[in-house]
Every structure is written in C-alpha cells, then in structure tokens.
Structure 1
Amino acid sequence: MLPLFSVKAALFIIIGICCFCPCPATAGAIQHYDVGVLALRGDDHAKKSWQPTLHWLESQIPNTTFEMHTYDFDELDDAFRHNQLDFLLTSPGQATKIARQYQLNWLATQKTAYSSNSTHSIASVVVVRSDSPYQTLKDIERASIAAVSEKAFGGFLALRYELDKLDFFSRSFFRNIQFTGPPTDKLLLDVLDKSLDVAIVPACTLENMVKEGLLQRDQFRVLEKKHPHDSVCAVTTALYPNWTLAKTTRASNEIGKKVTQALLSLPEYSKAAAAAGNIGWTLPASSVHVDKVFQHLDMHPLQASWQEGLFKWLTKNQLITFGIVLFLIILNVYHFWLEYHFNRSKKDLERTLFDLKEKNTMLEHAQRTMIVGELGSSIAHEINQPLSTIKNYSEGIQRRLDQGMTAEELAPFLGKIHQQVGVAGDIVQRLRSLIKRTPSERVICDPAAFIKESLELIEFDFQALKIDLKFSEEGTPIQGEFDYIGMQQVMLNLLRNAKEACLANLEWDTSPGVSVELLYGENDIVIRVADNGIGLEANEETLKEPFFTTKQDGLGLGLAICRDVIDAHHGHFIIQPARPKGCEVTVIIPIKREQK
C-alpha cells in the first residue's frame, strides 16, 4: 500500500506545481493597431471593401488586431496629425502630400486588373448625361459642376492638372465648382436627376456602380473618353498610382515589416482581394508623376511660396534689403510731405475761390445797381403813372365827399386806388429783386415773361430818346427752367448797350432802332437783340475780356456777367456785326421738351 500512496502523492505534487507555479505564457499579449481609411464612397462601402484585408493581416500576424476608422480627407489629415493612427490607406495624392511633410513609410501599393499597368488605375473622369449638350471639356465652362473634394486626386486634381496644361479656363471656373464631400455615388445620381450638369469622379466609379446595379451605363457619357494602358474603365485623364498602405511613426518597424510581408503574400483571387477590387499588393509605386501634378499646380508641400522665397532672398541680400527699406521710408516721408502741401494748397485755393465768389457777387450787385441808376427816368416814369392815378382818384373822392356822396358810392374809386397801389408795389418789388437777387434762383416760366418785363423797365427811356423798340415772337411757346432775375439782368445789359450804340451813331440814314426777337425752336430758344447803332468797336475776343469797356464811367462787367448767366444755363452767347450797320447779339439756351 505504501508504494501506491507514494505514486499518488507525486502526481498531486506535479499537478499543483503546474497550476500554481508562475510560468511563461504560451501565448503573447494581443497587439492593437488603428488603421485610417479614406472613405470616398461612404463608410459602409469602405468597411465592406477593406475589412477583409484587415482580417487577412490578423490571420497572418498572430496576436494582432487591426481596427478600421473611416474618414474624409480633412478628418484623415486631422487623425494623422494628432497621432491617432498606426497605418494609413488613402489615395496617392493625400499619401504623397503627407509623406513630403511628415515621417511616413510606404509599405505596399495595391495591384488592379483594370489596365496593363497593374499599379496604376487612379484617374479623373468627367461624366455627363447621355443626352447632355456638352460634348467636350471646352463646353463645360458655364455648366454646374461638382466633385467630392478639392483634395481628391483622382476625383479632381488630376483633371485640374490637365485643364491647366491646356489653358482652357480661368481660375474663376475652378472657384465655381461645388465640392460635396463623400460619397462619390451621389454625384452621379445628381447628374442623373439633373441636379448637376457635370460630375468629376474617380476612375471606375461609374463602372462599379453599374456592376452593382445602381446605374445603367447607357444613361451616361464620359467626356474626352480614353483607355490608357488598355484600361477597362473609361477615363478623362492619364492614370496615376493606386492606393498605398503606409505606416506612421506610432507603429514599430517590426510590425511594418510583418504587414508588408502579409500584403505581398495575399493571393490574387482571395476573398480579401475581391472585396477590395484588386489582385493583391506589390512594392510601393513611384509617386514622381503625382509630385509633378502638385508642382504644376503650386500645391506641393515642399514648394516655397513666393512670400517665403522673397523673404529668403531679402535675408541673403541684406545690403539691398536695407536700401529698399530706406527707399520706402524716404518715399513715404515724401508722400506725406506732398500730401501736407497739397492739403494746404487745396485750402488756400478754396479760400481764394470763396473770396472770388464774394467779390464777383459784389461786382454783380454794383453792376445791377448801376443799371437801376441808368434807368432812373424809366423807373420814375413807371412809378409816376400809378402815383398820378392815385392822386387823381384821391382828388375826385374829395370833391365827391364835398358834394355829399355816400361811402357806398365812393367804394369803386377806393378799389381803383388800391389797385394802383399794388401796381406801384410790384414795380418797387421788381427793382428790389433785381438789386438783391439770390444767385441761381430758378423758376419754371415762359422766356417771354422776363423779356417783356425788361422791356417795360426800359421802354420809357427809349421813347424819351426817340429810339424805336420792337419785340416779336415766333414758334410754339415753350416753358423752361430759368434764373429769372439773371436773365432779366442779361436783357437789361443788352438793351442798355444797344441804346448807347444808337446814341453814339451820329450819321443817321434811318431813325435809330432796336429789335428783340424770341424764337422757339424744337429743343432750344433763341433770343436776338439787334440795333442799327455805331457797330462793334472791338473784335469778339477783346469783348470777352472782363473789365473791357468803351465807356468812361463803365465797369466792363456787363458782357462778362451776361456770359456767366448764359453759361450757367448751358447756352451760347454770340456777338457779331449786323448788316448794313450795327450789332447783333444772339443767345441760345437749350430746353428739354418735358419742361413745356
């Protein structure tokens, strides 16, 4: 019995040692890796396409798990920069830009059966409806166009490179392109329902959607269709390298080596290859052509901007930089100096113009006052007429009061006295307006009004001097907007000059006379004042000069003021000899027909 007991005890000891003694684990710890995948056709499509490949890696590399994270372009960039990923699976454009800026190891490029060049199948495709009027790339300048992203290499940048080389469109064309974001499938669906005219999509997107039963091939047309390297998919641009799997600095070189070996050993016809639409993987393809695209578009991350290049040149040439800075400082100081003197000169000029306007107003006032003084006899006659009438009526009323007439019987005579008082008041008011007129005070009137009023003021003077004064009108009357007192001053000046010219003529063949004509034209009026006096004593250029006068006590401002008033009406003032003798002044003033 003792030997049997000893054997059992030994077995229990061995079992206890196996259960409780710390021994090395037969299985190592599970290593977890995060894989960022660009999901151009949406998250579900990306997972369906690439999850089998990650399972293959897990089956080939013991004690590892690979978790897929799907992103758009911006999200993938952000996740990489925040060190959230171990591996990237993205388009050649994004992979190239990241690799040129950060430490990124390319592990393998997928192979496809789409063309004879198995590592190249990325391209841009311009798709329109089969019934679209757009036949070539040149036709789409004003079409509504959309792409998935401005960063999509096959979905946009490859096409922009081709268009830029051909110099088809300006930059405004590319600014008008809509960028909708993933999925790319929606672009073709929008073209189909006519929400878009043109869609820019990656190569084989159309063919894959047709294969999946989402579209019918005869519903679409590819512009500038070509099949480089015998590509089974119609494309618009050249072919570029396929998607590449890359390792970030977060993953070790050891796991990178194992992933590369696993991908290169993936069979061409495996379920993982079929799901991803490839025929396995190969060594990383060269990105030289991708670099050329970015360089041509001035988008390459290693390209220095013109600002950076300028700063580098200025730093290298410090003496020239100092000279430029000094020149700019001097130029700015000179600019401020010029601006200071310009502002001071401007203020001086404004002050001078203000003084000239004041003096001009004073001279005009003096000239109008002189006219009134010269018209003293006419003014006295005009005022004397209503005063004489008032005197006569007043004496008549006195006699009738003595005869015992009632107030009711005298009322009509009092009304006539009141009427004559109004006439005298109007005469005084006209004279006050002439002396104290406000510049550019315009009213709508018939030009005959200020002409007749001027004639009334000067008529008695002409009769006393036995100068014949005639006025005539011709045409359909037109009302216009006039500086009433200004035009009255013009007429009085011209009539006064005509009177003095007649008085200076000592050799009369006929009696002295002045004629005033008013002609109504289609779009203007013509006022003509002619006399048979002594005629012009100077040429027209001399007459235009201010302060020129042939009178001993004249100011020489009459004609100058006339010209200013007529110029303010955008008219013309013409002085010429009259036949057979005398002078003729013509005033032409434009009038718009809507002012009738």
Structure 2
Amino acid sequence: MMRLRTKTLSSSSGLRVPHRIVENHKAGPTLIWNKRYSAFAQGRRFLRVIVALALIGHGLAVAQMTQRPNQPPPVDGGPVIIGILAPRGEAHALAQWQSTLQALDEAIPRASFEPRALTLEGIAEAVAKGRIDFVLTNPGQFVLLGTPYALSWLATLRSNPADSAREALGSVLLVREDAPYTSAQQLIGKRVVAVHEQAFGGYLLLLPQLESAGINPGELDLAFLGYPVDALLYQLRDGQAEAAIMPVCMLEQMAAEGLVAPEDYRALMSNGKLGGCLASTPAYPDWTFAALPHVSEALTADVARVLLDMEGPGTTRWGAPVSAARVATLFDDLRLHPLQEPLLDRLGDTLQRYWHYTLFAVLLLLGGLLYHAWIQRQAHRHGRALQSTQLALRERERELASAQSLSVSGELAATLAHELNQPLAAIRHYAEGGRLRLERQAPDSPLLEPFSRIGREAARGAGIIEQARQWIRREPPEIERVPLKGLLRDAVALAEPRVRRLAIALDWKVRPADLAAQGNRLAMEQVLGNLINNSLDAFEADRRVGWIRIDAEYDAELAQVTIRVADNAGGFDAERLSQPFMPLDSSRAEGLGLGLVISRRLMQRQGGAIEIGNHARGGAEIRLMLPASTEDANP
C-alpha cells in the first residue's frame, strides 16, 4: 500500500521546503491494479446481468417456437383452390381455364376445384402461406417457387400456336410502325413499359438479349405497370411509351379479339417468328401445373392423370412435364435462381428464421462491447492516475534537488559571512586610521579620497554580510523610503570604472524625478549591482560594445515603482528563460549561477518582485517592482 506523508526540509539558510515523500513507492502499481481488479469484478457483475437478460429472451423465444405454426390441413377432397396467374386480368384468366377446371370437376367428384386469379406477387404470397392447393403459372415462377416450397410438377401446357411444350414462351420488344427506331440502342433514355421485373414471359426473357446487345437496362426509362398486360400495348399505341416488352403472341391474341391492329406495330431485336408470332427472344417451355406439398398423393395423381388425358376441341392440352433446365440456366445467368440466392439474402433469411438465436448473439455481442469499452475507460483512467503520480514524484525529486542546492548555498553563505566579517572590519579600521593620519599630517594629500572610498566600500561590504546574516536568521530587512534618483546614481557610480573600460553607454532616468520606493536601500544597491555586472559580463564575454538603459517609472494603477534594466548584449536563451532562477546554473565558466537567485530573494524580502525576459531589440530586459512610497510620489 502506498502512503504519502509531508516532510519539511530545513537548512542553515533558513529555507523550509514542504516535500511529499512517497514511502514504498513500488506499491503504487499494486494499488492501481487493486483498483483495476475491483473494476474487473464490477464488469463481471455487469456481464452476468447481460447474460441473464439474454437467457430470459432466449427462453421466451424457444417457448414461442414450441408452439406449432399454422400449417394448411391435408387436402384430399372437398374445396380445392387453384391459384392461376392472370396476366390479362381475372375475367380473362377464368374464361381461358374454364374448360380445364370443368374437366377436373367432372373427373374427380370428391373435390370441388375453385379458381383464384392472382398476380405474380399474389401467387408467391399464396404459395408461401399455403392459401392455395395447386398453382397454374409460367415455368419461370415455378422454378423460383418450386425449390423453396417443394412444389410437385404435374404437367406442362401444350396449347400454343407452335404446338410445342418445349418452345412456347418468349418476349417481344414492340415499337410503333411509324416510330423512327431501328435498333434497341436508340431506346436508351426513352420510356419503355413492362409488366414486372420478374415477369418470365416479358422483362426477364428480354434482359439477356439487352445485355448481349450492350444495353444496360438502367439506361432505359423502364416503367413496370403490372397486370393486365393489355395496358402495355395501349400505352404504346397512345404514345405514352416508346416501346413495350410483351409476351410472345399477346399482340396477335389482342388483334384476333379486335382490340388492336397488328400492322401498327413491329418488333425490334427480331428473332424470327415463334408459332407465327413476333418474337425477340428464344423460346422457353410453356406453363406448368403444380401441386403444393400439403395436397395428398392420391389427389395429386388424379389431377395429373386428368390433365394428361384431356383431348378434344375447346379444351387445353397438357403433356408430361418438360425439363426446365433452360429456365434454370437463365436464372443462373441472371443470378436469380433460389439455389444460388445471394449471400446477404440467405443470411437475412437465416437470421429471420432463427431470430431468437440472433437476438441472443446480439445481446452477448453488445454486452461484450460495452464491457470492453468500460474496461478500456477504467484502464485509461487508472493509467492517467499512475502517470500523474509518476509526474508528481519527478517534480518532488526536482524540488528536493533544488532545496538541497539552496541548503548547500545557505551553508556556504553562512560560512563566508562569518569568515569575511573580520577581514572587512580590519580593512575598514585600517582605512579609517590612514585617513585620520593623513588629515593631521597632509591635509592636501590626494590619498584622502581613496581612503574614504575604501572605508565606505568596507562598510557596504559589512552591511551586505549583515544582511546575509539576517537572511539566514530569517529576520525581515529594515524597510525605508528609498529615493530612486540617488539609488540609481550610486549604483551606476559603483560600476563606472568597468563601464568606462568596456566602452559601454550606461544611461539612467527617473520619472518623476522625486520618485521613491518602499524598500531596503542596501538590498536594492546589491540587486542593481548584480544586474549591471551581469550585463557587463555578457558584453565582455562576447567582446562587443553596446548600451545599458535603466528606467524607473511610477505605475499609478498598481501604486508601485517599476525599474527596467535593459541591454543589447544578446539576451537570455530559451532554456534559461524557462528556469531563470535555478541555483548553481550559470552560462559562464566562472559563474556560480547565484546572482539572479539572490536578487529574487532580496526583492521578495522587501515585498517586491522581479521578472526576467528579452526585448525586441536583441537583449535582456529585467523588471524590478517595489511598492511606491506614498509620502511624495506624485506622478
């Protein structure tokens, strides 16, 4: 377990640094993993809830599946429904197949055959739901429905102009006789009407012919009008369409009924004539009579026998079932065969059939994804916490290193203050004694001024040492009114010999002239001396000349004095600006890196502040802020 405690570091310099020490920091990851283990435990409980809900849904679905679905009852007599495809409408279909139904009624007295005229969609739905017992439709729809619903193929129609069960159905692309079209390509972008996109004796049969001619059906303005087929020819006749896709012989039948004139139309993509009728496609087998699986074998056999025995005028003729291989091949080419159902459709059917298992799997997957996302979020959060802890530890290590450096500096300062105080006192006494002796023996001696200056500098050094002693003892400095004009004049005078030797232009200005600050004069002299000497060191290191500018101004808004010290000696680099007060870090080989650190401490002890930066003219700019003296500071 990780335990944090706070320890205060002290040194002879009086510095106290609160420092958080991590005990047994190696246990940190253990704490994180303990939290993560708790998160995993919560996740397992969450997953168990998801699984329980899924199992409940699965049980309900299985219970529902145990109920027997509504299956059509077995049929061996009584009312028998025959679903009939009605391409020309109900009345026409009933009239066309009346003789067949009558023959079935007479030959099989135990059953009463009732016709039901249906569309393509209607037959598919009736077969799927078992609403009919027999189906009478084209071979294309039989192929589509026969495999999925186990239809029994009983007979193939032979009543067609060609008198052939194998070659009876086809499609024709009709245009008006006066139309300018001579090829199917000219119909691109034109309105073309058809019954249905799965109409075998129409669009489906013509589709391969269009593709072989290089025509994409999507380039035609196709319109599927549904039954009756007669409407297609009427729209073509009335100019509402430029072409019509019709079953073979439909034009001839309508002409025989006096509905249209056959000479008003012609066929495109002509494939000769099929039984004397215009055609645009090869011929395919005729219509099929089939039984649904719930019809008894006896009734199915009786119906097949009656159909095959039909003969005589006015009756439809049926033959043995003809192979639908060509139809199946066509559907294979069109990718419509039920045995080659697209993967997505098969998948959809499977999911729909076994929806309870699908629901169970979806719930499990959803629960797993939510659990994974939750675990990832917990791991990310704990990872960030661990990273923050590591960053905090590194920061504390840097603070400790800084505190140790300052502690060493404080001890060194205390030692130097103690050891230098006596030599400075001796220098001051010797200088004072020498000056007094000269005043008695040679009042006009030019050495009097140097002795006086030696005494003042020795006294100033002693004051600085006393200030260091106060700093070590953590005693506050004496705050006084400091006139800035005299402060800057004396600070510049101290640096004047070196400034003259390096040929540096040093200017200063105070606005207003009587501006004063609240601070410690000796400390401010030390700070300004450090800053001026730092600038002179930079000039001397680069062997260049330039300028140093010191400006003191009053900030009425903050009621403070700002002293700006600027030069054009190159300024601070980016690394130094990021940590300007790092102790024992100097860019000069002979430097200790304590000048700015001491200056900041001196400013803080006076209630002031210091800011380090660069200006746009290629040099450093340091700002010193002190409270303004309120006695006579009139900006």
Shorter-chain TM-score tier: 0.3 to 0.5
The TM-score, its normalising length taken from structure 1, stands at 0.45
Q: Which has the greater radius of gyration?
A: 2
Flag the structure with more relative contact order, 1 or 2, with Cα contacts below 8 A and sequence separation at least 6.
2
The TM-score, its normalising length taken from structure 2, stands at 0.42
